[in-house]
Structure 1
Amino acid sequence: MGPAPVIASIRLAVRRTLAGHAPGSLVLVACSGGADSIALACATAFVAPRLSLRFGGLTVDHNLQAGSAAQAERVVRFLAGLGFDPVENLSVQVDGRGGPEAAARVARYGALDAAAERLGAATVLLGHTRDDQAETVLLGLARGSGARSLAGMPARNGRYARPFLDLPRATTVAASKAEGFEPWDDPHNTDPAYTRSRVRHAALPALSAALGPGMPEALARTAKMLREDTEALDAWAAREFDRLLEPFGDCDLSHYLDVVELSALPTAVRTRVLRLAALRAGCPGSDLAAVHIEELDRLLTDWRGQGPLHLPSAVAAARRYGKLAFERSGALRRGAPEPDHADDGEAGADPDRAPAAQLMPA
């Protein structure tokens, strides 16, 4: 007699994710002790040895509530009892910048990254489900985010993998019970002070009541389609960035992009090229907001002679001689850009001196 259907489902999801890993590779499971990560740990403990993979476990103590250290030690014992080796309790301090949820996420992934690097892990498995994906999409909608945010969490992102993104939370809850383990219910998951908690317990149920069942599936399906579109546009933008990139000076962070060629690109591609240019110049991705990209785009589509645009981490962008230059702020003079030199004859004036209306997309 085979395993219960819910156990078979989680094992199959993990097997599909780990297929293709070289024998002997180390796979780590990030486990909080909740139902999703318990199901993930149980499935990995079954699948990994059958694929000749080593498997270890990590739990992160955010030190945000009383008893968190004791809970982390319970998770350590649980993982060790399943045969995980190594098993580590990663204690972090959350500084609160950007809000409690964002700060906790930054601290958590920082600890997971450092541990995975130190241990030489090929993959870190995360227990996010289809319901988590739906919540992420709703949070993106509430922020007015673009397609990248609405595309939700990827099934794979660097060393991280999410085997359960196509499974509902009900499956992982049932699987953890079928495996004989009582999951830990994090009080923060039901605390209305946290935005995701309000989405989970109020927004999604209200949408389901108003629009009918199947909202998490529909939102997750939307995220998957948007991710496919976003990845295609990102690849197109990366090719255009490589084609248009013109380094200057001794610093690898300083570069130009041709204004005319950049302006000719479709908006969705052009703004992605601008984002890549800002990242290449040294802007941290976490600090680069949509408003920064919009203002960069105005240097192309609404050019009125404005001076350098100052971006996070002392990066500046300015139009100079028909180019959009990205450099450390001190290198670009404040105020109006240097005069442009018009071409003689039929070529006409440099596009940086053209009226703004001529640079607006049709």
Structure 2
Amino acid sequence: MDHPLPARVLDTCRRHDLLRPHESVLIAVSGGQDSCAMLAVLSALRSHWDLTLHAAHFHHGLLDEADADAEFVTLICERFDVPVRIERGDVGGDARRMHRNIHEAARTARNGFLRRAAAEIGADVIALAHTGDDRVETILQNLFRGTGLAGLCAMPPREGDLVRPMLDATRTMTGSYCRAAGIVPRRDVSNRSLRYTRTRMRAELLPYVEAHINPRARQAVLRMAELLTEDHAHLEQEASQAFERHVRSSRQGGYRIPCDEMELLPPALRTRVLRQMIGAVAGSDADVTADDVRQILAWAEARACANRQMASGVTVTVGDDVTVAASSWPETPMLPPRELPVPGCVSIPELGVHYCAEELTLSQPPMSVHAEAVVLPSDAVSPPLTIRGVHAGDRIRPLGMSGSKSVADHLRDAHVGSQDRRRFTLLADARGVLWLPGVCVDERARIASVPCRALLVRRSVQPAED
């Protein structure tokens, strides 16, 4: 089929390093035209990168059409020979329990499902079908809410292990590709309701702007986002470095920064460091508002004794320090290191994890890094191997990266909140951290040549003991 979409997706993936040879990809498939087009295109490109494809569909349990949507996704995945996982949620119940609107609860439930599915199958990346039109609408929504720099370059091609191969495509392009491929996608009736801001923007605002102000308004918004992305990335890097210099662990299990040191930071870094502290505890700073940040920084400047309960379940307390901690903490002691014999196994029943190690001879490099297993060249390991929790100052140089980064930053980027981080286990040796299961592996795992002697370490998760 002669259509420009596959070439557009291939170019996007190359320019932004979204997919690499031999990777395992989890494709989020809703059944709509964008995700169906992405499924078809990645299936066509599968042999180009020798990719292993899996699909995932979340049944929200909200609309009458949801059962038919799930059935359709099953059939189209069969057509393209892609195994699919489907999970049904109770989004209405989640919304009531979390005191959130339906859209926020659905997004949280869907993202959680995708994370679990990716970890279970060992996916390297999760592919989302957002198009350039989606990005424009998101940026404009953020603009009208009074966003900062991050909101003006929202929905980038890559966010950690989330990739958006369709971001340089348009909704018109995905629709024409589906028609050419004989795909009749499902229709979400809510996408046509003018009750929703995004739909009204799509149906009324953008056509008006293109007709009366700038016929290439969408391209202009995307160009602005690309320009601002570089500035935003630089400031985030500066904030991460300031976080390492000034932020300490608190006795409450969270993080603190002295107000005197906070004041020494430029305003642009103060807000970002505060957001990173909250994100490190909550797993994400998505619920932090500009009003939250302004109020907390004003208290810090005045040395006011005050606290603020955040929507994400953390409390920020201000006195001589700004302290961020979870509102409630599990009574989990610091995990003492457990030596992992080779060959042999070690169990940590109170956390529900089990590790095993064995020696083997590799005749070819491993295809990809699995979330629950890692292969290490024997000559790169300095015994003893230990299974332990996260320690202050831990760093890791991820495979393929030129420099090291703190383990805390990696877990924060992977949306591992402080409560989960207190129960997180990693693999280390005498020289440092080797593997963060489900997150990344150290550069020392690189297989320089084969055949070679290697260690295979597997992790399995079972229900924790009470």
Q: TM-score normalised to the size of structure 1?
A: 0.81
Deviation of the 1:211 alpha carbon: 1.0
Deviation of the 1:111 alpha carbon: 1.5
Equivalent residue for 1:3?
2
| Aligned pairs (5 A) from 1:67-146 | 67-84=65-82, 86-95=83-92, 96=95, 97-146=99-148
Equivalent residue for 1:33?
31
Unmatched runs of 5 consecutive residues or more in structure 2? 329-466
Equivalent residue for 2:288?
288
Equivalent residue for 1:183?
185
- Partner amino acid for 2:69? Q
For 1:270 and 1:166, locate their aligned partners in 2 and report how far apart those are by CA, in whole Å. Answer: 34
Deviation of the 1:270 alpha carbon: 1.3
Closer, same or farther: CA 56–324 of 1 in aligned 2, 3 Å: closer
For 1:75 and 1:314, locate their aligned partners in 2 and report how far apart those are by CA, in whole Å. Answer: 38
Equivalent residue for 1:253?
254
> C-alpha deviations, 1:62-95, integer Å up to 9, x for none?
22211211121111111111111x2122222213
Alignment RMSD (CA, Å): 2.4
How many residues end up aligned between the 2 structures?
321
Closer, same or farther: CA 131–326 of 1 in aligned 2, 3 Å: closer
Closer, same or farther: CA 162–299 of 1 in aligned 2, 3 Å: same
Equivalent residue for 1:205?
207
Retained in 2: the 8 A contact 1:130–1:220? yes
1:171 to 170, 173, 193: 173
Equivalent residue for 1:64?
62
Q: TM-score normalised to the size of structure 2?
A: 0.64
- State percent identity of aligned pairs: 29
State which structure, 1 or 2, has the greater radius of gyration over its C-alpha atoms.
1
- Partner amino acid for 2:89? V
Deviation of the 1:14 alpha carbon: 5.1
Between structures 1 and 2, the one with greater helix share: 1
- Partner amino acid for 1:199? M
- Partner amino acid for 1:192? L
Q: Secondary structure at the match of 1:134?
A: helix
For 1:14 and 1:327, locate their aligned partners in 2 and report how far apart those are by CA, in whole Å. Answer: 38
For 2:212 and 2:298, locate their aligned partners in 1 and report how far apart those are by CA, in whole Å. Answer: 40
Q: 280-289 vs 226-235, which deviates more?
A: 280-289
Closer, same or farther: CA 307–46 of 1 in aligned 2, 3 Å: same
Deviation of the 1:156 alpha carbon: 0.9
Unmatched runs of 5 consecutive residues or more in structure 1? 331-362
Q: Secondary structure at the match of 2:317?
A: strand
Retained in 2: the 8 A contact 1:28–1:116? yes
Deviation of the 1:15 alpha carbon: 6.3
For 2:148 and 2:121, locate their aligned partners in 1 and report how far apart those are by CA, in whole Å. Answer: 36
> C-alpha deviations, 1:317-347, integer Å up to 9, x for none?
2222xx44445679xxxxxxxxxxxxxxxxx
> C-alpha deviations, 1:108-155, integer Å up to 9, x for none?
112111111111111111111111000001110122222112211021
Equivalent residue for 2:315?
315
Deviation of the 1:265 alpha carbon: 2.0
Equivalent residue for 1:356?
none
Retained in 2: the 8 A contact 1:254–1:325? yes
Q: Secondary structure at the match of 1:188?
A: helix
Retained in 2: the 8 A contact 1:292–1:311? no
1:228 and 2:255 correspond: no
- Partner amino acid for 2:38? L
Closer, same or farther: CA 283–41 of 1 in aligned 2, 3 Å: closer
Closer, same or farther: CA 282–18 of 1 in aligned 2, 3 Å: closer
Deviation of the 1:276 alpha carbon: 2.1
Closer, same or farther: CA 191–289 of 1 in aligned 2, 3 Å: same
Deviation of the 1:52 alpha carbon: 1.6
Closer, same or farther: CA 317–98 of 1 in aligned 2, 3 Å: same
Equivalent residue for 1:343?
none
> C-alpha deviations, 1:185-230, integer Å up to 9, x for none?
2111111122221121122112222312111111122222222211
Q: Secondary structure at the match of 2:147?
A: coil
- Partner amino acid for 2:3? A
Between structures 1 and 2, the one with greater strand share: 2
Equivalent residue for 2:339?
none
For 2:53 and 2:42, locate their aligned partners in 1 and report how far apart those are by CA, in whole Å. Answer: 8
Closer, same or farther: CA 142–242 of 1 in aligned 2, 3 Å: same
Equivalent residue for 1:21?
20
| Aligned pairs (5 A) from 1:262-277 | 262-277=262-277
For 2:283 and 2:2, locate their aligned partners in 1 and report how far apart those are by CA, in whole Å. Answer: 50
Q: Secondary structure at the match of 2:91?
A: coil
Retained in 1: the 8 A contact 2:276–2:285? no
Retained in 2: the 8 A contact 1:58–1:88? yes
For 1:317 and 1:223, locate their aligned partners in 2 and report how far apart those are by CA, in whole Å. Answer: 34
For 1:283 and 1:90, locate their aligned partners in 2 and report how far apart those are by CA, in whole Å. Answer: 23
Equivalent residue for 1:153?
155
- Partner amino acid for 1:262? M
